[in-house]
Each structure stands twice: as C-alpha cells, then as structure tokens.
Amino acid sequence: MNEDSKELADAGSFGLKADFHAHPAIPSKELVALMEALIRDVGTKVTEQRGMLLGHIKAFLTTEQGTLKVNLIDMDIGPETVDRLASAAVDKGEIKFMAALVGLDDHDVEEIMEDSIQVLEERLDLDIEEHEHDHDHDHDHEDHN
Amino acid sequence: MIICQLAGFLGSGKTTLLVRLGSELSKAGKKVAIIVNEVGEIGVDGAVIDSYGLKSVEITEGCICCSLSGSLQNTLRAITREYKPDIIMIEPTGIALPSIVSKLVRTSMVGEERMYTICLIDAFRALKLFKEANLFVSRQIAGADIVAVNKIDLVDDDVKEKVAQMIGEMSPQSKLVFISAKTGDGVAPLVKLLEEG
C-alpha cells in the first residue's frame, strides 16, 4: 500500500472546530444565511485561485436547539442546507468546518478557510480550537494583521 | 455479518445515503455499526451521522486506504468483537480508493459473510468529474459491486444515459442503479440487499 490517495487525487484538506457565542442571540434564519455566506466565500476564493471548484466544503453546527448542515460542492447549485434548528434564535453552539479540494495543497486550503471564517466573526464570538500541524511546515504564514 | 463500503468522490452524497440506509436498517431491527473516515483532522460526517441517532466511529487525519489502513483494521476488529453488529457500514473519504479498502477489510479477518462496495457518482457533476479527474474517478469506480448514480433529482434522462454509458465503459461488471439519497428514490433495493445479505 505505497500509494497515497491524497497525492493521487492532487487534493488538500483542512478542518477546524470552534465554539461560538452570539450576543444577542442570532435569529436562526440569519445564522443559516451567515453559514451559507461562509461556505460561498470559500467556494469563491477556491474558484478564483484554482479556476474551478472540485471538492467538498462543509460545515456542521451543533446547538441546544438542533443542528445545521451546510455543504458546497458546485458553485452553480450553491450551498445546500439542512436546517434542523428548532428555535427562532441561537445563542451558542459548536461549529465543525472542513474542506477537501482538488488542485490545492493543505496549506492553501487552510489559508482560504482561516481567511473566510472572518465572515462569521462580525456576528459571532468564536473560540477556535488550536490545532497541531502534521504536514510539512516549509511555508511562512501570512500576517493578516 | 455484512460489511458495506459506501465509496465515491468528494461530495457524491455518501453521508446522506449512509444516514438513509443506516436509519432504514436500524428500523428493520438490524444492529448497524458505522465507520466514517475524514481526510482532515476535524471530522464533520461523524457528527452529522450521530445527529440522526446513529452511532459512528470516526477515523480522522488521513485516509483509511493508505495512511490509516492499520486504524481501519483495528477498528473493524474492535467493533466486531465488542459490538457484534449485523452490518458494518464504512464511509471512506472522497479521495479513497475503494478497491484498496476492500482488500484491507478482507485481510482484517473479521469473519464477514459478505462484503459489498457501493460507489456513488454525483449525476449532476459526473461529466465534469470524468473530464477533470478521469483517472482517479475511474479507479474509484473500477471493481465496485454496485455503482449508484446519485442526485438523479437534479438531472434529466439525457444526462443519466451519458453517465450510465461512461460508467459501463469504466466498470462493465458493476451493477448500475439510479438513486436520490436525498429524496429516497431508488434506495429501497439497496436497503433490501443489505437487509437480506
């Protein structure tokens, strides 16, 4: 088993997890729109960089009021949402956000996603779980400040 | 015990089909165990599956067909020993090679009576995928017991025909089915197959 399927597919991936709080509580419809905007922003950046979107961008929110799943696979179709939030507003929860994309490496995907997540920060307080890199670290992180 | 691998490229609808099959089989009284693999360090699919009341074991940060092959085999053995399921469903990453996963399952020696590999193809993006990632996608399809053309609710008959023709050329021995995991259209025969073994 010497083949590495990720290399064969020429794909990169990244994922992050964050707790979020909304002050005041965010209306569920606004939260859905915000998550769709996040996913769409990643898709747009990937398309600008790569010329097309080939892969899968997904986010899943778990809250006390239910769950929300948003996927993007094709820019023509746009985000596909499964809204199982049972209340009109949400004040806290957990977000899992990941993407696997063809034609980009792990570092490219990470930079795009970390840049895009700022879309949420205008409305949500995010406590992003620190992660450890296990891929080659022969690049410099861009300073976004 | 039956083992079923639900394979397919990124975004082909594996998790949606897995939730549907898992729920139907559980309702029918089958003890279902699910192994889900994500290439990234943070898994989303395990949380999605669990939110539908199904229980999954998530293997992350690599692919079970290569870098995490040992984890797959150990997980299969542990689930078989401790949970004694009727059916184990495996969802590899969208960039896994199903033929390698099948070999790993066989060499795990967990005593399965039968194993099926169902490879999903997203009907809406199939022609684009065959153009942009032909070699990889054809390797995913090759040797599948069943190729399930998914998302048929999004395409017309002309596209279905073209996709079927291309799959037939890539993997002539595979049985071809047309489904919508989202609406449930065409899924019943797959449930029956796994229910009856």
A141 located within any domain: no
Does residue B95 lie within any of the structural domains?
Answer: yes
pLDDT grade for A131, boundaries at 50, 70 and 90 = low
pLDDT score of A137: 44
Best A1, A4, A5 member to test B by mutation, with max B CBs in 10 Å, is: A5
Q: Which domain CATH number covers A117? A: 3.30.300
> For an interface test with A, which of B12, B42, B127 has the most A Cβ atoms less than 10 Å from its Cβ?
B42
Mean of pLDDT values over A115-133: 88
Closest CA–CA distance from residue A24 to any residue of chain B (Å): 26
CA-CA distance, A108 to A119, in Å (whole number)? 18
Looking at chain A, which residue has its C-alpha nearest residue B67?
A: A4
The answer, yes or no, to whether residue B64 has pLDDT greater than 90, is: no
- State ipTM: 0.91
Asked if B15 and B34 touch (Cβ cutoff 8 Å), the reply is no
Three-state SS string across chain B, please? CEEEEEEECCCCCHHHHHHHHHHHHHHCCCCEEEEEECCCCCCCHHHHHHHCCCCEEEECCCCCCCCCHHHHHHHHHHHHHHHCCCEEEEECCCCCCHHHHHHHHHCCCCCCCEEEEEEEEECCCHHHHHHHCHHHHHHHHCCCCEEEEECHHHCCHHHHHHHHHHHHHHCCCCEEEECCCCCCCCCHHHHHHHHHC
Is there a domain that residue A48 lies in? yes
- Render pLDDT for A72-88 as a digit per residue (tens, 0 to 9): 999 999 999 999 999 99
Domain range for B80:
2-192
pLDDT for residue A141 is more than 60: no
Residue B197 counted as domain residue: no
Neighbours of A78 (CB within 10 A): 13
Beta-carbon contacts of residue A70 (< 8 Å; ≥ 6 apart): A32, A35, A36, A38, A39, A58, A59, A60, A79, A80, A81, A82
* Residue-wise pLDDT tens digits, B126-136: 999 999 999 99
Cβ-defined contact of A13 to B48 (cutoff 8 Å): no
Chain B CB contacts of A71 under 8 Å are 11
Contact B193, B17 (CB under 8 A): no
* First-residue to last-residue Cα distance in chain A: 43
Chain B's closest residue to A3, CA to CA, is: B66
Q: Which of B93, B97, B132 sits opposite A54 (nearest CB)?
A: B132
* CB pair distance less than 8 Å for A5 and B122: no
pTM: 0.92
CB contacts of B125 in chain A (<8 Å) are: 73-74
Q: Is residue B152 part of a domain?
A: yes
Is the residue at A135 inside a domain? no
Half-sphere exposure of B162 (CA within 13 A, CB side): 15
Of A43, A38, A41, nearest in space to A18 by CA: A38
Supply φ then ψ for residue B172, to 5 degrees. Answer: -60, -25
- Asked if B44 and A52 come within 8 Å (Cβ–Cβ), the reply is no
Amino acid code (one letter) for A12: G
Q: What is the DSSP letter of A73?
A: S
The CA distance from B165 to B127, in Å, is: 11
The answer to whether the CB atoms of B132 and A9 lie below 8 A apart is no
What's the number of domains chain B is made of?
A: 1
Here the CATH number for the domain that contains residue B129 is 3.40.50.300
Asked, for residue A143, whether it belongs to a domain, the answer is no
On whether residue B151 sits in a domain, the answer given is: yes
In the predicted model, what is the mean pLDDT of residues A54-63? 97
User: B41–A59: do the CB atoms touch at under 8 Å?
Assistant: no
Sign of CA dihedral B182, A99, B134, B156: positive
User: Does pLDDT of A140 surpass 80?
Assistant: no
For A20, phi then psi, to 5°, come to -130, 150
Residue recorded with tokens 């994309």: A101
CA–CA gap between residue B22 and residue B52 (Å, rounded):
9
Asked if residue A108 is part of any domain, the answer here is yes
* pLDDT over 80 at A45, yes or no: yes
Is A85 within the bounds of a domain?
A: yes
Mean pLDDT of A31-53: 97
Q: Which residues of B23-32 are buried (b: 16+ CB within 10 A; e: fewer)?
A: bbbbeeebeb
Tell me what the mean pLDDT of segment B149-164 comes to. Answer: 97
CA distance A80 to chain B (A): 11
Mean pLDDT of chain A: 90
Task: Count chain A–chain B contacts defined by CB atoms under 8 A.
Answer: 105
Question: Range of A49's domain?
Answer: 3-128
Q: What residues of chain A, 55 to 84, have a C-beta less than 8 Å from chain B?
A: 55-56, 58-60, 62, 67, 69, 71, 73-74, 77, 84
Confidence of residue B16 (pLDDT cuts 50, 70, 90): very high
Q: For chain A, what is the domain count?
A: 1
Please determine, for residue A138, whether its predicted confidence score (pLDDT) is greater than 80: no
Contact B92, B66 (CB under 8 A): no
Distance from CA of A15 to the nearest CA of B (A): 5
